Structure 1
Amino acid sequence: MDRITGEDFDLMIIDYTIPDIDGAELIHHVKSLKPSIPIIVLIGSWKDRKFLDAGADLFIAKPFDLKDIRKAIASLSGRADLNR
């Protein structure tokens, strides 16, 4: 989490099941520091949707392919300069 404060991101793609940290906690932390950063969450189950309450902008269900990632980024492109 320390890298988040020292880095400049246009977009974050987060796997919700991260070892040693709750995905919702990470999303909430990022949004509290940098609320304008769009966050896409990779999920394995539709049952737990607290990632949306934490501030995720979009989610992609596993399994997915590169086309799904591209579509998600394109849908957020108006909210961040993704051409850097």
Structure 2
Amino acid sequence: MSSAPGQPARVFGNLLDNAQRHTATAITVTLARAGDDVVLTVADDGHGGDLTVTGAPGGGAAFLVTLPRAPLDVGGDRD
């Protein structure tokens, strides 16, 4: 894996920290080869939603965050 020195450890640390703060009971970490790439997955069972990261035009990154919508309080007071 090639990247800036320290970046993989920093990303991995951030993912583990987030999973630890939001998990209900378990964190699963997997590392796999996919052709010439390495795929790291950190999964927890404590919060809904989805995060997808893809390459952006020009070489950057695009982050897509999808979260469950809270139900609307149709009859509630809206002071």
TM-score (norm 1): 0.33
Higher relative contact order (CA 8 A, sep 6+): 1
Q: Which structure has greater strand proportion?
A: 2
